[in-house]
Amino acid sequence: MSFSIEILLGFSAVIAAITVPLIIYFLQKSKRRLAYEVVSNAQLVGVKSEVQNKIKIYYENKLVENVHLVSIRIINSGNQPISIDDFARPISIQLGSNTNILTSEVLGLNPKDLDVSILKMQNSVEIQPLLLNPNDSLTLNILISDYRGGLEVSARVRGISNIEIYRKPESIKSIFLFSLVVLLLILNFFNAVFKNKIGSFFGLDNQNLALILLGPIIIFMCYTMASLLYQVIKDFLIRKVREVYSEESKE
């Protein structure tokens, strides 16, 4: 009886030993991403409407209304560089068809020597193609009148389908620690099973209870391992085909 349970536990350990490196591989694999973050959106005169009607704002001797100062950060959130040649269309920040952009300026750069050129239009700002290494970022300050909220950031970049809203990525260290805690909890649970503390409560012996609990876990781990292996092989073959095609093109 105990021999069967030991085989199941050993098999689970082997699958886990194969699956964990595959998961780490996918967390570290090449990713091309471009993201944006609205750092702040402040109305220039944020007072009650009855008082606001008595306050007038002029820009270059022209009356402007509903003025906002919007700060937007653009960041290479992937782990691959984005070169100038990767851009088919520059990064465009659309702020609404009826808005009027008064000023736009670069507020911050990471790194400091990032070469940025921007083009201000009536209701949009374009960031000209530039080299963005992983974690490189730039922050723009845009002063807008007649702003009703909302914006759209777009570009045409090789290997990137769309510019997404920036979310701070989970570190591999955090994921590893979380997995370790879960594993310790599972081991502690099975320790209670083998001491017959849980099985006796349900009227089951150790072997039957272990099979009931381990069966779904082993099936899930096998499925995960097979899916990851399939993706690894697929990525490898695609990369090799691209390398062969690239060499033939050079010839």
Cβ-based neighbours of 177, under 8 Å, separated by 6 or more: none
Domain parsing of the chain, residue ranges: 2-29+170-250, 35-159
Position 79 scores a pLDDT of: 83
Per-residue pLDDT tens for 145-173? 988 888 999 999 998 889 998 887 655 55
pLDDT greater at residue 18 or residue 116: 116
| Model pTM score | 0.61
Q: What percent of the chain has a predicted confidence (pLDDT) above 70?
A: 55
CATH C-level class of 35-159: mainly beta
**Does residue 8 contact residue 193 with C-beta atoms inside 8 Å?**
no
Q: Residue 122 corresponds to which amino acid?
A: Q
Higher pLDDT, 80 or 243: 80
Q: pLDDT at position 229, please?
A: 72
Across 110-121, average pLDDT: 92
The pLDDT of residue 2: 46
Q: Report how far residue 137's alpha carbon sits from residue 251's, in angstroms, rounded to the nearest whole number.
A: 37
The conformation of residue 114, written as its DSSP 8-state character, comes to -
